[in-house]
Amino acid sequence: MKKGRKLSGGKYKKPRKKKLYEKQGQKRVVKLGEKKTKLVGMRGGSKKLVSLTNNTVNIVAKGKAKKTTIKNVLETPANRFLARQNILVKGAIIETEAGKAKITNRPSQEGTVQAVLVKD
């Protein structure tokens, strides 16, 4: 069996092309570095601020928020290769001045990085 073919050998044809609103956006990777953001246009004319690189994090511990700097990305449960490249994603364990923290938001969708302290 060839891929994309029927049992009879005929081709499967797409009913139509993708519309502009169905197309995927450009993939954004938030790396560790000096803070750099970008304003991105969204559907409906609204805009959102997204991170490209970031080195600060808002940590919540015991009900108090504190802003600290990120030293390193220790591990990423989603993909271990992302940690090696210091890429910030949701769920990543990072090393900060306040201690180890886990990222709770999606930095590629927002202009900031939010995290909670992790007990060692």
We report the CATH number of the domain holding residue 64 as 3.10.290.70
Report d(CA 18, CA 98) in Å as an integer: 47
pLDDT band per the 50, 70, 90 thresholds, residue 4: confident
Question: Does some domain include residue 33?
Answer: yes
Does residue 53 lie in a domain region? yes
The answer as to whether 84 is a domain residue is yes
Q: Is 109 a domain residue?
A: yes
Please determine, for residue 1, whether its predicted confidence score (pLDDT) is greater than 70.
no
pLDDT in tens, 26-76: 888 999 999 999 998 888 899 999 999 999 999 998 889 999 999 999 999
CA gap 4, 17 in Å, rounded: 16
As to burial, measured by CB atoms within 10 angstroms (0-12 exposed, 13-18 middle, 19+ buried), residue 102 is middle
Distance CA 42, CA 110 (A): 13
Cα–Cα distance for residue pair 92/19, rounded to 1 Å: 34
For 110, the domain range is 27-117
